[in-house]
Structure 1
């Protein structure tokens, strides 16, 4: 492995840091004053993917890995709001990932490109769980933001997009349960000994 390949790997890590600064634009459109970043979304999406995969009998680790990389192309495309996509002909995620990984060590480029391809194909159980995690995380965030802005459209579209039984069950629970119910219950219960 040459120094230039290491430089390309390092550049990818710096590029991924942009996800911490880019805000999810749909929430800006909805009127949320300080919306989550793309990295915030991707982090919880990976956790949600692991939970869904475990409930569905798939590999939690693989689903979380796929979810972790699912929006890395947005360093170059940004988070284009749904309405904006009607007017743009963006490159495919595969094209962006290929550009992002040019010059990297071959195994690393294959790892990242393979994650993108598997996620987009939705053929594996883990990819389907990761895709559902993306939508369920959006629904959870919409529920959390609904006191700040009109997020019902995000709730409706996310709910309609869910495919796995586990994600559908969790989404239905989320609609009727306060996002802080867990905290109130923990506060009011005795800690385990």
Structure 2
């Protein structure tokens, strides 16, 4: 149980581990934990849409794929040009302390191999999460997001993810909550009387 407590604290470190690629994009900030959560939701969705894969396995791959970064930090594409991280050692050292250590090791190995359909969907979920973040920053005026997007798309491995990426890139990231046709943004209610507004403030 003590080792599990250590494991949970280690996973918590991901909340304080930044995704470093945004330093080069010039705007944005996201922790590895935030990235992993949305990746898991995307992975679940892709798996259900695919209909031929083990949904739980895709979720497991998504949830655990960046756990080694609690020990290694997040190395972006520029970092990886010059820094060689011993990820396998990080995986093995953690696995040695876990009652499900061999399963953890196999999960990371499957993700890295990119051979199973589940691992391809998990990788695509990882990239789609980045594409969503890029679109959010593009909508806020970051012109470099347009330059990064094609490279993310080229990393996608399934037609399903490619189709989804196209729709993400053409969808306003605020449309899910902002409805221009609603009186809500004027009245603060559906229907109802308008909120009184002094003439000199309107």
TM-score of the two chains, using structure 2 as the length reference: 0.82
Higher relative CO (CA 8 A, sep ≥ 6), structure 1 or 2? 1
Sort the Cα spacing of 1:112 and 1:141 in 2 relative to 1 into closer, same or farther, 3 A: same
TM-score of the two chains, using structure 1 as the length reference: 0.86
Quote the offset at 1:185 in angstroms: 5.4
- 1:119 aligns to what? 111
Distance, in Å, in 1 between the alignment partners of 2:171 and 2:107 is 33
Unaligned 5+ residue runs, structure 1? Answer: 1-5, 189-193
Sort the Cα spacing of 1:83 and 1:49 in 2 relative to 1 into closer, same or farther, 3 A: same
- 1:173 aligns to what? 167
Q: Determine if the alignment matches structure 1 residue 142 to structure 2 residue 117.
A: no
Quote the offset at 1:154 in angstroms: 3.0
Deviations 1:65-117 (A, max 9, x none): 1100010111111111211111111113x321111122322xx1122112111
Distance, in Å, in 2 between the alignment partners of 1:46 and 1:186 is 31
Distance, in Å, in 2 between the alignment partners of 1:187 and 1:43 is 32
CA RMSD of aligned residues (A): 2.0
Equivalent positions of 1:23-42 (< 5 A) are 23-33=18-28, 35-42=29-36
**Larger Rg: 1 or 2?**
2
Unaligned 5+ residue runs, structure 2? Answer: 183-202
